[in-house]
A and B are shown apart, each in its own frame.
Chain A
Amino acid sequence: MDYLPNILFAIALVLGIGFFAKNVRKLIRNIKLGQDVDVSDNKSQRWKNMAMIALGQSKMVKRPIAGILHIVVYIGFVIINIEVLEIIIDGLFGTHRIGLSILPQSVYGFLIGSFEILAVGVLISVILFWIRRNVIKLKRFLSNEMTGWPKNDGNIILYFEVVLMCLFLVMNATDTSFQELNSGNVISQYIAPLFNGLSEGSLHLIERGAWWLHIVGILIFLNYLYYSKHLHILLAFPNTYYGSLKPKGEFNNLDAVTNEVKLMMDPNADPFAAPAEGAEEEVPAKFGASDVQDLNWVQLLNAYTCTECGRCTSSCPANLTGKKLSPRKIMMDTRDRLEEVGKNIDANNGTFVDDGKQLLGDYITNEELWACTTCNACVEECPVSINPLSIILDMRRYLVMEQSAAPTELNNMMTNIENNGAPWPYNQMDRLNWKDE
């Protein structure tokens, strides 16, 4: 017996999964750079959201064409991956189509037959996706932030899927014993004639080649995820679970501010009093966010989950009227900066060394932040429960509370509120004048 293929297979598997595990650890570490936030409430509703939005793709179908194509690819991808289980067992133990010796032939045939049909469905959908991106040139795939890597990334994923699906079908078509069974080869029987006239030996070679490329391709794809928007196939699940359950209009009240305001409003409080013994007043480093570490970890998870689909941006009133703001870019910038911080930590033995950069200014400009109307359209649209608005708000908070860098008109407005209890310079005593006008 020649064990070389089994050993090679085991090595490939260990390498592929090992690298993936390493990336996952890095991912978790980076997400944990964010501030703590309590999301332990309402577990049943959270599971329900995950089941509906991630598993059930409920938000995807709001845009029917993309939604249905996406569901085909999604179901195809998940189900065809059952086949990977067989491939792994065959690879490790040197068996061939172990499924056939476990399952009745008709069941096996039914399974593989469905995989083949799904594979064709995926192929067609992926080709249509490619056309949408590259031929029809949908506006939301052409924005400024969608040049360079994000654009290539989108296409690379599609090519990957085409290749994997073709390999799967070729593998079945050139498997002579499988074709002879004539059960489950619903699609591959029409591909098999293409290889007519080839010797038994070359057919076997092609079959083995396709088999190997298929599994190696999957392992490469697994490791590609970390660098790609395709990470959403994993993170959509935790992200929809941790998504906000509150009404969209409710913005969080900063506890640190509450403490200070209470102190200010309490006539008995002595501002110079030393904090009571043992009661360690934890004054936060700063109000609002200027860099990724100031955001909470759910916001960072959001950034890694973003699929760059642009549904948010295509419904953003600021973006639709030519302003620089794009909620998708907010998410992509956050992820890019977080990656940069992560690499910095890797390069400096586990600690972050100030690199003179931050999310605010170097990635996201004040102009973008001030263009937001807080309308929640982006939050509503996002198919995976991302909240770009919460990041915008936290960065505005930093601008206003730490830097007093609001636009002049807004400063005037806020001064009016302080002095008159209204955003305009009217006397509070005149509040009821309308009654008699």
Chain B
Amino acid sequence: MSEQLKVPTMAECMAEGKQPEVLFWVGSAGSYDDRAKKITKAFVRILNKANVDFAVLGSEESCTGDVAKRAGNEFLFQMQAMMNIEVLNAYEIKNIVTCDPHSFNCIKNEYPSLGGNYNVKHHTQFIKELIDSGKLKVQQHTYKGKRITFHDPCYLGRANNEYDAPRVVLSTLDANLTEMKRHRATALCCGAGGAQMFKEPEKGDKDINVLRTEDALETNPDIIATGCPYCNTMMTDGVKAKEKEDSITVLDVAELIANS
């Protein structure tokens, strides 16, 4: 990497007696998955560029338990949740931002009744605020005129009614934004949710990510924009299945902003 990323951990901040404004919850995919790590780094580049006072938990972060809960393992979910809440509360965390809509939904909606109350934002909401407040300037040349279609993540859109933030952020790129037939509340799932990411699909006549990719292809895009590491994987695989990887790239909103 040419530029050095500044990624302080909570433990380091604590040692220096500092309390960062916001915690960046990286999430399991963002920490380990090769593709998702690029999204994580892109978002850190944005945070660094906008001089955001943030930190990560590093090795003190653990799985939110979201995927266990959706698989039906409420025990495992609550164990993970309570462990994480203990750590978060010990650091007196108030604000959290994450690139993963699943972590976003889980911490925002399901942690409070277990004792974890935070102000949680999805990274597209956070980036929108940085742009709105003038802390982040977006250059418009990289994607000028490119056809971009945004795939709504279920856990950002339907689950939490946030359809605008990613679109507002993308609109700063001066690109040509197009919508799929199914978008916003009627968007089709990429197929990864509800623990499907970790298992083979049931018998059927098609894979969900291929169907969703077909939705995207109808808009004839140069870029499919995503806001979730799992959607990203699914759409990337879908584009490969359709043998379109030479003409279409799948990029997270954070990557699009960081690159421009």
Mark A residues whose CB is within 8 Å of B. 246-251, 253-254, 257-258, 260-262, 264-265, 287-288, 315, 317-318, 320-325, 367, 370-377, 379-381, 393, 395-401, 406-407, 409-410, 412-414, 417-418, 421-424, 426, 428-435, 437
Contact = CB atoms under 8 A, between A and B. Distances in A.
Q: Which 9 A-B pairs have the closest CB atoms?
A: A249-B159, A396-B72, A374-B194, A322-B205, A421-B62, A322-B204, A375-B189, A250-B109, A400-B72
**Which of the listed residues B57, B67, B154 has the most CB atoms from chain A within 10 Å of its own CB?**
B154
A158 B74 CA distance: 45
B9 interface: yes
Given A261-B75, A374-B193, 6 more contacts: A251-B69, A254-B78, A261-B79, A323-B201, A396-B71, A410-B199
B80 interface: yes
A331 B201 CA distance: 22
Contact of A247 (B65, B161, B194, B202): B161
A143 B30 CA distance: 40
B199 A417 contact: no
Given A249-B105, A417-B65, A377 B158 contact: yes
Contacts of B71: 396, 400, 406, 410, 413-414
Contacts of B212: 317
Nearest to B44: A435
A374 B105 CA distance: 13
Contacts of B198: 409-410, 412-413, 423
A323 B204 contact: yes
B202 A325 contact: yes
B247 interface: no
Contact of A421 (B56, B80, B206): B80
Given A265-B79, A432-B59, A414 B188 contact: no
A151 B185 CA distance: 29
Interface in B22-47: 26, 28, 30-33, 37, 40-41
B7 interface: yes
B54 interface: no
Nearest to B7: A435
A250 B105 contact: yes
Given A322-B204, A373-B193, A376-B159, A414 B58 contact: no
Contacts of B241: none
B72 A428 contact: no
B171 interface: no
Contact of B58 (A258, A288, A431): A431
A413 B203 CA distance: 21
A433 B5 CA distance: 12
A318 B202 CA distance: 9
B191 interface: yes
A134 B158 CA distance: 33
Interface string B84-125: 000000000000000000000100111001100000000000
Contact of B208 (A315, A321, A398, A426): A321
7 contacts: A246-B109, A374-B194, A380-B185, A396-B70, A400-B71, A431-B58, A435-B5
B239 interface: no
Contacts of B5: 435
B178 interface: no
Given A424-B28, A434-B37, A437-B37, A321 B204 contact: yes
Indicate the member of A288, A323, A414 with the most B CB atoms within 10 Å: A414
B195 A410 contact: yes
Contact of B76 (A393, A418, A432): A418
A320 B211 contact: yes
B155 interface: yes
B158 A376 contact: yes
B207 interface: yes
Given A251-B69, A253-B114, A422-B63, A401 B75 contact: yes
Nearest to B102: A249
Contacts of A318: 202, 204, 208
B186 interface: yes
Contacts of A410: 71, 195, 198-199
A359 B65 CA distance: 28
A315 B63 contact: no
B259 interface: no
Given A375-B194, A423-B63, A406 B72 contact: yes
Contacts of B83: 265
B204 A400 contact: no
Nearest to B212: A317
B156 to A, nearest CB: 9
Nearest to A323: B204
Contacts of B185: 380
B200 interface: yes
A316 to B, nearest CB: 9
Contacts of B207: 321
A322 B206 contact: yes
A375 B191 CA distance: 8
Interface core residue of A375, A379, A432 (most chain B CB under 10 Å) = A375
A251 B65 CA distance: 12
B251 interface: no
B99 to A, nearest CB: 12
A164 B65 CA distance: 56
A423 B74 contact: no
A416 to B, nearest CB: 9
Given A367-B202, A431-B58, A399 B72 contact: yes
Contacts of B179: none
A253 B202 contact: no
A373 B191 contact: yes
A305 B194 CA distance: 26
B160 interface: yes
A418 B154 CA distance: 26
B131 interface: no
Contacts of A325: 202
